[in-house]
Amino acid sequence: MWEWIKQPWPWYVAGPLIGLTVPLLLIMGNKSFGVSSSLRHICAACIPANIPFFKYNWRKETWNLFFVAGILVGAIIATNWLSTGEPVAVNPKLVHDLQQYKIHNYSSIVPVDLFNWPSLFTVRGFILMIGGGFLVGFGTRYAGGCTSGHAIMGLSNLQWPSLVATCCFMIGGFITANLILPVVLNM
């Protein structure tokens, strides 16, 4: 009976459900959707330093912390109790491309050959995990929000900066996937 929840949902179901969060948040009190701002709220709540960036009324945004906690709890539930145990379905062309870079183990949500503790201490692992994490964090701060905030919330509100940021996210993704990632994976 509950097998449907264990399968990936098609884009025409998952997409509108994600999209419907925007009007729901607006109806619930003119709230803005975004995940990266939750780190700022956590820092403002936990760091009693005199840093101007963290001096604001973070308590008004407590709902965002519950939202992100719900994402974490949902991921734990999905991983532990809603997983079929089968490997992630990967396109055969991608399997072929990954094998050229000596990546064979992709049974979890990320390629295990790339993202594990021993590979963190290699040049390739450092670039992918530490360098990539820094660039995501820097880009999020520089753009004034993350992809979910700009691409979902900002575009639905017809905000010009969100259109520019989303286009830059996409261009950066295309350049990284097609020009930079092959060089890093060949290291």
**32 phi and psi angles, rounded to 5 deg:** -110, 135
Domain membership flag for residue 172? yes
- Same domain assignment for residues 71 and 143: no
* Tally of structural domains, the chain: 2
- Same domain assignment for residues 125 and 78: no
Domain membership flag for residue 18? yes
Other beta carbons within 10 Å of 64? 21
CA angle 57, 140, 50 (to 5 degrees): 35
pLDDT in tens, 70-125: 999 998 998 888 877 777 777 889 888 888 888 887 766 678 888 888 888 888 88
Domain membership flag for residue 65? yes
Please report the sign of the dihedral spanned by the C-alpha atoms of residue 177, residue 180, residue 186, residue 187: negative
Domain membership flag for residue 137? yes
Domain membership flag for residue 53? yes
pTM for this structure? 0.74
Domain membership flag for residue 97? no
Query: Among 83, 106, 137, where does a domain finish?
Result: 83
pLDDT in tens, 11-63: 899 889 888 888 888 888 888 777 888 888 888 888 877 888 888 888 888 88
Number of H helices, E strands in the chain: 12, 0
Domain membership flag for residue 109? no
**26 phi and psi angles, rounded to 5 deg:** -65, -40
- Same domain assignment for residues 133 and 60: no
- Same domain assignment for residues 165 and 120: yes
Domain residue limits at 128 = 114-187
Report the amino acid identity of residue 97. Answer: D
Nearest alpha-carbon partner for 22 in 171, 165, 162: 162
Nearest alpha-carbon partner for 115 in 97, 100, 98, 103: 103
Name residues whose C-beta falls within 8 Å of residue 87's C-beta, 6 or more positions apart in sequence: 106, 107
Query: Among 83, 99, 130, where does a domain finish?
Result: 83
Domain membership flag for residue 88? no
Nearest alpha-carbon partner for 146 in 68, 51, 44: 68
Q: Which two tokens stand for residue 83?
A: 């997983």
